[in-house]
Amino acid sequence: MSESTKSPIKDKPLRFPGQSLEEERRKLFEDKLETPLMLAVFFVALAAMEWWRFLWKQPPSPIVFTVFAFLFVGFAIWRIWKMRPLVRAIKQGIEGEKAVGQYLERMRESGYQVFHDLIGTGFNVDHVLIGPAGVFTIETKTWSKPSRGEAKIRFDGEQLLTGGREPERNPVVQARAQSSWLKGLLAESTGRNYDVFPVVVFPGWFIEQSNDCLRNIWVLEPKALTKFLANAPQKLEPDEVKLASFHLSRFIRSNEQGRST
């Protein structure tokens, strides 16, 4: 009689960069594209079968199935075409988060702990850095660049403009909300008050701003982050970094365990 078995992995692994977007893309396919594609294939197969019966002098009824096949193929093509911009945007977001995440992994050599895709209630934090300069939440915005003209973002400390226009969702407000949430989470978990600094990074964009804009939030191109961290004063001792990292790791694994049950 075989004995029951269980996985040798005790803890759930930490999340990887862009995991939320990967999950969103998979859900998008399952909810919006999988059904029409399966129906299209099904009715094409039925139509082919009926035509085969017709050619081989079997009692045929191909017209009805052919009509259904064309209808569902058309529906599938329409749905796929409609979803293309969203799929493209999600794919671009995944690539951006992975690129930034791989870049942030280098910060481990400088004493930083790096976490990716931290899940909150109804939102996620793309990346978290915990190290000598403090605790940082990092929101990655992989915005499409204009085909012509300069790819420049202007930031005055509150308002963020691209091409003279303000985005529908202000990432500055989003980043500040994320840092506030993480600050509360760490305070509740560790019993200590960690200052959490918000950062927004825009891969491939030029950021135009004054030094006064950088007091409460950093809006940067990812490669500038290393310089900013190197110039920042030390705020955390190694034991404080270890404590915050341990509690955040425990929160992530507990959260993943709850999501998988």
Place of tokens 């081989």: 56
Domain count, the chain: 2
pLDDT score for 243: 96
Indicate whether 52 belongs to any domain: yes
Q: Are residues 205 and 124 in the same domain?
A: yes
- CB-based contact 102:79 (threshold 8 Å): no
Distance CA 118, CA 187 (A): 16
Q: What are the CA-CA distances from residue 167 to residues 8, 132, 173, 214, 236 (Å)? A: 47, 33, 12, 20, 35
Q: How many CA atoms lie within 13 Å of 184's alpha carbon, on the beta-carbon side?
A: 6
Residues 6+ apart with CB under 8 A from 107: 114, 129, 131, 226, 229
pLDDT score for 115: 94
pLDDT score for 261: 62
Indicate whether 248 belongs to any domain: yes
Q: Are residues 36 and 79 in the same domain?
A: yes
Distance CA 120, CA 236 (A): 24
Indicate whether 14 belongs to any domain: no
Q: Are residues 43 and 169 in the same domain?
A: no
Indicate whether 80 belongs to any domain: yes
Q: Are residues 212 and 134 in the same domain?
A: yes
Q: Are residues 148 and 241 in the same domain?
A: yes
Indicate whether 63 belongs to any domain: yes
Distance CA 250, CA 258 (A): 12
Distance CA 104, CA 17 (A): 10
Query: What pTM did the predictor assign?
Result: 0.74
Per-residue pLDDT of the chain (261 residues; tens, 9 = 90+): 445 544 333 555 567 777 888 888 878 877 777 778 888 888 888 788 778 777 877 766 667 778 878 888 898 889 888 888 888 888 888 888 888 888 898 899 999 999 998 988 888 999 999 999 999 999 999 888 877 777 888 888 888 888 777 887 889 999 999 999 999 999 999 999 999 999 999 988 888 888 777 888 999 988 888 889 988 999 999 999 999 999 999 998 888 877 766
Encoding tokens for residue 19? 């995991």
Indicate whether 26 belongs to any domain: yes
- CB-based contact 118:101 (threshold 8 Å): no
Q: Are residues 216 and 247 in the same domain?
A: yes
pLDDT score for 176: 94
Q: What are the CA-CA distances from residue 192 to residues 9, 16, 187, 196, 244 (Å)? A: 31, 27, 5, 12, 9
What residues make up the domain containing 55?
Answer: 19-93
Q: Are residues 116 and 89 in the same domain?
A: no
Q: Are residues 75 and 136 in the same domain?
A: no
